A and B are shown apart, each in its own frame.
Chain A
């Protein structure tokens, strides 16, 4: 059994409430943090090797140490709880069950960074989680873990919960900041980075829910202890939200370094493919990362077993590898149509582009239309080449990484499954009959 640092008490009845949370050691770590020097807390987080769990995997301790600290200027810690990446649902699960773990993490982080006000920006569609969190925040205020003179230390700290505006792009950290300030959620053009100019033009750290929660066990047990879990530069535990054609989809806390094969097939985790079908492909880190066919997700191009770690999943670059991303692990069995799946993803990015920069605004829609055409049985081989070209003209030329996120799934699907696109072009009706998944609503019903 892998160690559980975040989820060990998740099934305790009533753990959502402050009292039960405290009975299981809740807020003891905050008390411990108050006995430490602020820079020592940052040092522990650095030592832990914790990498941002929001997708990019940037070392959290390093990010904290980059925060500008000009005299007399407020600083902010912002928790990114906008979780909207298709396939990713770990933050929601954690906040729903362990709201106080997030609050405790926010308090420790804010204390370490010298913030007096911090924000949790939660996805607007998660209203019921919003209420759970707000209730927990109210409890924490009443018990003196938030507010004036926290736990008698003289430190005043306010934590606000902000409801998101209902757009995937508001999860991009600078769009989140704009939205938090009450503006249109457009990503900012960097530099300046949030560490210099973030919320209200003040130095700001934006961290994912899971990153902030992980700070609690790091401070509790020490950074070194955390760093011993995992493999290489992928330290600690990671929440994986597994979905798709699995026997046991759900959120799993794994020690980084578990072999992908074990994760998919062992009873401790996903229990294998539903209906004992064959594995066809996996999108390992949320819809934005490249899809890999079964043989490449189970083993690297060199034939080594692929592990659930930042490095191993990225082994081989985009030619034969992918990314750990946000931990949204989407599994597709042999009956799945890659082209339809890709259409679903592309449709999402088209819908979610903020529209600021030309390649993403125009290119995402163009790709969706072409995929639609191919699925509708009217595609040509030239369309597949054009799709490839469009994605290459988007990638790396946009303001924020949403452009890349829209391009990579297209590139990887064509790279690894080109023959399937060609089948759609050559023999559309035969293929479509078998593929019930990802039913395409507005296609001609006779053809589906």
Chain B
């Protein structure tokens, strides 16, 4: 098993582990941000370049440093490798540059964006962005389009992470959308505005790190931090049926898959990602459709992660008594 040292923390990892995965095992500050990599989607990663790190020692056998920063999500560790992330100022500078590139054409219309509060780009710019944009030209814009009656594509906010394309390829029956055009006018598109309509397409919303793909059934209903996320499950013949309900009072405003601290869908069973089907996501919007397990702790540093309501001692979760939940949730 190769040993790798990242920002001074040494860890032994299984063969084939990437630097990013190793850093996640160590946890904390050592972990580079990743906007396009998604461990549950094959061939994801490598595009956004936010996870770049500096390899100061290649391996025990070949200790030469790597000449350029490498994408940690796509570089496997070698025994004796030494990596710098937060401890290398020049690397942080390079990453800030990547973040600036991601932002120059981004609308930053967070106040009217459904993703705000759980947006990875917001987090990223908070940590690595400049307070003022140096970009003075007109920003790129696209028309908003509806892809099917449940999903809204707001291409202007897309960072071309390719995750939704991989979901369509790997989770859905057929892929009816992809990337068209090239360079800075490349766009996610369904070609001839074909509706994306198959049982698992809704997962594209969950993997989208920004507000480019949003749930039309939740659109403008609430700021996400005003909702109470609850773990819930139901018997579903199509998917694992394990979800998070974003509730307001007795109302289920939105249903999503369960996401871990990296924003990725949790495994429903060992090695099986808990993707949920469109029926659970879009059709089951009543409390009676679900068995509520309890409040969901959201382990991320964005607004929604405040989990303020968890502290309220008198919030007791009585699964048999939905009415009580309703009252408490209103607090």
Contacts and interface: CB of A to CB of B under 8 A. Distances in A.
A354 interface: yes
A399 B46 contact: yes
A19 to B, nearest CB: 43
Contacts of A40: none
Contacts of A356: 47, 160, 162
A393 B183 contact: no
A386 B48 CA distance: 22
Interface in B64-91: 67-69, 71, 74
Interface string B98-141: 10111011000000000000000000000000000011010000
Interface in A13-64: none
Interface in B25-41: none
Interface stretch (A202-210, A323-331, A345-353): A345-353
B52 interface: yes
A359 B97 contact: yes
B186 interface: yes
Given A167-B182, A354-B183, A361-B183, 13 more contacts: A353-B184, A355-B179, A355-B181, A355-B184, A356-B47, A357-B49, A358-B48, A362-B101, A362-B184, A389-B97, A393-B100, A397-B68, A399-B47
Interface string A356-373: 111101111110010000
Q: Which of A354, A356, A399 is most buried by chain B, counting CB atoms within 10 A of its CB?
A: A356
Contacts of B268: none
A375 to B, nearest CB: 14
Interface centre among B45, B100, B105, B181 (most CB of A within 10 A): B100
A289 to B, nearest CB: 18
Given A357-B47, A358-B48, A393 B182 contact: no
Nearest to B71: A189
A396 to B, nearest CB: 4
A393 B135 CA distance: 15
Contacts of B71: 189
Given A355-B182, A399-B47, A393 B94 contact: yes
A357 B68 CA distance: 16
A208 B101 CA distance: 33
Contact of A396 (B46, B48, B68): B68
Contacts of A9: none
Given A350-B184, A354-B182, A357-B48, A397 B97 contact: yes
Most buried by A among B49, B52, B69, B102: B49
Interface of A: 167, 169, 184, 189, 350-359, 361-366, 369, 386, 389, 392-393, 396-399
Contact of A359 (B45, B67, B98, B134): B98
Interface of B: 45-50, 52, 67-69, 71, 74, 94, 97-98, 100-102, 104-105, 134-135, 137, 159-160, 162, 178-179, 181-186
Contacts of B185: 355
Contact of A184 (B135, B159, B178, B183): B178
Contact of A361 (B50, B67, B135, B184): B184
A359 B185 CA distance: 14
26 contacts: A189-B46, A352-B182, A352-B183, A353-B183, A354-B182, A354-B186, A355-B160, A355-B179, A355-B182, A355-B186, A357-B49, A358-B47, A358-B50, A358-B102, A359-B97, A361-B184, A363-B101, A365-B105, A365-B183, A366-B137, A369-B137, A389-B97, A393-B94, A393-B101, A396-B68, A399-B46
B321 to A, nearest CB: 50
B182 A366 contact: no
Contacts of B181: 355
A167 B52 CA distance: 28
What is the predominant secondary structure among interface residues of chain B facing chain A? loop
A355 B165 CA distance: 15
A353 B104 CA distance: 17
A61 B96 CA distance: 41
Nearest to B137: A369
Contacts of B183: 350-355, 361, 364-365
Contacts of B48: 357-358
Contacts of A386: 134
Contacts of A364: 183-184
Nearest to A361: B184
A362 B178 contact: no
Nearest to B48: A358
**Nearest 9 A/B pairs, CB to CB:** A393-B97, A355-B186, A189-B46, A362-B101, A353-B183, A396-B68, A365-B184, A358-B101, A355-B183
Contacts of B182: 167, 169, 352-355
B186 A361 contact: yes
A230 to B, nearest CB: 27
A355 B46 CA distance: 13
B104 A362 contact: yes
Given A355-B182, A397-B69, A361 B97 contact: no
B137 A396 contact: no
A392 B50 CA distance: 16
A393 B130 CA distance: 14
Contacts of A350: 183-184
Contacts of B98: 358-359, 393, 397
Contacts of B100: 393
Contacts of A352: 182-183
A392 B185 CA distance: 23
Contacts of A361: 101, 160, 183-184, 186
Nearest to B76: A191
Contacts of B46: 189, 357, 399
Contacts of B94: 393, 397
B68 A362 contact: no
Among B137, B159, B181, B184, max chain A CB count under 10 A is at: B184
A366 B68 contact: no
A364 B182 CA distance: 12
A31 B328 CA distance: 88
A192 to B, nearest CB: 11
A409 B330 CA distance: 61
Nearest to B75: A191
Nearest to B184: A365
Nearest to A397: B49
A189 B74 CA distance: 8
Nearest to B162: A356
B52 to A, nearest CB: 6
A436 B100 CA distance: 36
Contacts of B179: 184, 355
Contacts of B69: 396-397
B181 to A, nearest CB: 8
